[in-house]
Chains A and B, each alone.
Chain A
Amino acid sequence: MHFLRTTLLFWRTYLPRILRARRTLIVALGCALIPVVALFLLGIKYGPSPIEVFMYPAYYMVLMVLVPLAAVITGSVIVSEEVEDRTISYLLTRPIPRATILLGRWLACATVLSVMFVGTLGGLRAVVEWKAPTWKPTEPQTVEWTDRRGEKRTRTRERETAPELLAAMEDGELPEGLFEAVLVSALLGAAVYSALFAALGTSNRHPMIVGLGYAFAIELFLSNLPGSSQALSVQYYLRSLLLSENPELWGRLQEVQLKTYDTTTQALTTLAIVLVVSLAAGSWVISRRQYILSA
């Protein structure tokens, strides 16, 4: 059977199955939470401005947490669940290129993740742009009180937002290119991480544990190291996609301390290479490996 046709058959068959899976529901709930959090933040007195409400969750919750987490949860099981459920016997004794099992199922996984991240980021944008026209920074408020020694004390409650950030959304809409850069970064991140963990699942017996360790220990450590070591993490390239498009805005967020970053082209190229190499390595393993099922 033709390679592409079999890959698409796996994609089509796995798509409804992945949608029915409990782990997909968990990821969907995580995604749905982001716009809700944004809505909550916009209602807080002295809370962040609308553009910050878009940028912080997009960066910290989506790119740093949700993308790798969703990819581990859904990607690592692509092959390993067939081994664990002992159903892989039916697939490995069919006249098909074995690599199509990995590729078709990864495509289905990437499709579902893409829909989810388009939904969550679209929802986040919609909430921010809906609330932005009516949002006003809360005026600083000075509170006076007398301490135990009878001395009068004052404290001013206010939240400082960089003027550049406030100005960027004066018209009530996100600045040009900001949403698109975050979306591309999230979609590519989901594709690359899920391919990485799917490949891991072809050879590792506990890909989810190893994947979580990689995403939230090794990557986190590497991506926060000063110097060129950051370039060894996928996160570095995902951040580069953001910073190369809107450096002045992301630079205003104190927490985004990335002094060096790649250009969009360099980041896209590197992510594409990681994606292809992961899928090629996974395909190579599944094509040659003998899966011994436990009794």
Chain B
Amino acid sequence: MSALVVADKVGAWYGQVVGLSELTLEIAGGLTGLVGPNGAGKSTFLKLVAGEMRPARGSIHVLGFAPFANRDYFRRVGFCPQQEAIWDDMTGLEAVTFLMRLHGYVPAEAKRRANAALDRVGLGDPRSRRIEGYSKGMRQRTKLAQAIAHDPELVIADEPLNGLDPVGRAEIQALFAELGRSGAHVLVSSHVLHEVEALTERIVLFHRGRLLAQGPVGEVRKLLSRHPRRVEIRARDTRRLATALIALEPVQSVRIEPGNRIAVETGDVERFFGELTGIAASGNFGLQSLESRDASLEAVFDYLVG
């Protein structure tokens, strides 16, 4: 089966700020979660997938189409953007009906589809009120309704669970699961891993505009925990400390560097720090400082396991 999304060395910038850098990945059909901390590049990637942005470098194909400004492609996808904004001076029903009219439906059919989609996302009576009075959750539901009302092959939702209460989250998660079962492809992003985990096992992990890992959540966790990380230690007696460190099981390599510094590479940073505390207490090494050289990766790790 051909991949749903194929990105080849995709780069995207916001002026001088890198949105995505040399991103190469393939995403298979079905329900996939995009995760990563805020600013990781998830929204940029989804904007490229949705055809709102074009890659500054490289190429991206979704459902076999180059998405940017592609009308044939837009007939097949529904996009729920991250921003809360939707026309405040219209009612929820008017907004979704109008957008369905843009898909070519006659007024009666557009309204029928809008009502059906608003029912599916659980927006009841408020659909006849102006959006300016909506809560964050109601806006989120309206945005989702406009993304699914035309029964697209692919639903792209950027942080769709933001602003929803626990009951609302459960309802929308059930909706995504239902969409997945009905045969639609779904790409959902979130900066909260357990939200995505509740939806799907398959995740794509972004960090600083790059692909960090991809696959089932459990495997991604393992992969990251095995990723060697560098820790720099400053101590008075570097030779004795290096000898003690090399004996530790989580330590992969130790290198003495100028300026009373030791560079340690470890495959299990948590365990290493635990054992280092014991060493520091038992010997007189004159430990001065401790610094993780892969701070960014550390943050991702914390994010993942936390």
Contacts and interface: CB of A to CB of B under 8 A. Distances in A.
Size band of the interface chain A makes with B: 20 to 34
Contacts of A92: 51-52, 69
A86 interface: yes
Given A85-B85, A89-B52, A93-B74, A290 B68 contact: yes
A93 B50 CA distance: 7
Interface string A275-295: 000000000000110111100
Contact of A93 (B77, B87, B89): B77
A287 B54 CA distance: 13
A95 B53 contact: no
A90 B103 contact: no
B90 interface: yes
Contacts of B75: 95
Contacts of A95: 71-72, 74-75, 102-104
A9 B101 contact: yes
B98 interface: yes
Contacts, number: 66
Contact of A90 (B14, B53, B54, B146): B146
Interface in A1-42: 1, 6, 9, 13, 17, 20-21
A287 B103 CA distance: 18
B74 A13 contact: no
A148 interface: no
A96 interface: yes
17 contacts: A86-B81, A87-B87, A89-B81, A90-B86, A90-B99, A90-B146, A91-B102, A92-B69, A93-B52, A94-B103, A95-B71, A96-B71, A97-B71, A290-B52, A290-B53, A290-B54, A290-B68
B128 interface: no
B72 A93 contact: no
Given A86-B85, A94-B103, A13 B52 contact: no
Nearest to A97: B71
Nearest to B95: A90
B contact patch SS: loop
B206 interface: no
A98 interface: yes
Interface in B55-113: 68-69, 71-72, 74-75, 77, 79, 81, 83, 85-87, 89-90, 98-99, 101-104
Contacts of A97: 71
Interface string A95-127: 111100000000000000000000000000000
Size band of the interface chain B makes with A: 20 to 34
A contact patch SS: loop
A142 B2 CA distance: 98
B157 to A, nearest CB: 13
Interface of A: 1, 6, 9, 13, 17, 20-21, 85-87, 89-98, 287-288, 290-293
Interface of B: 14, 50-54, 68-69, 71-72, 74-75, 77, 79, 81, 83, 85-87, 89-90, 98-99, 101-104, 146
A94 B53 contact: no
Contacts of B98: 9, 13
Which of the listed residues B54, B86, B89, B104 has the most CB atoms from chain A within 10 Å of its own CB?
B104
Contact of B89 (A20, A86, A290): A20
A275 to B, nearest CB: 25
Given A1-B103, A9-B101, A96-B71, 16 more contacts: A9-B102, A13-B101, A87-B86, A90-B81, A91-B102, A92-B51, A93-B51, A93-B77, A93-B79, A94-B102, A95-B74, A95-B102, A96-B102, A290-B68, A292-B14, A293-B83
A292 B14 CA distance: 8
Nearest to A92: B52
Which of the listed residues B14, B69, B99 has the most CB atoms from chain A within 10 Å of its own CB?
B69
A1 B101 CA distance: 9
A1 B72 CA distance: 11
Contacts of B68: 290
A254 B150 CA distance: 64
B181 to A, nearest CB: 25
Contacts of B50: 89, 93
Contact of A6 (B52, B90, B102): B102
A1 B54 contact: no
B102 A1 contact: yes
A21 to B, nearest CB: 8
A6 B98 CA distance: 11
B81 A287 contact: no
B118 to A, nearest CB: 15
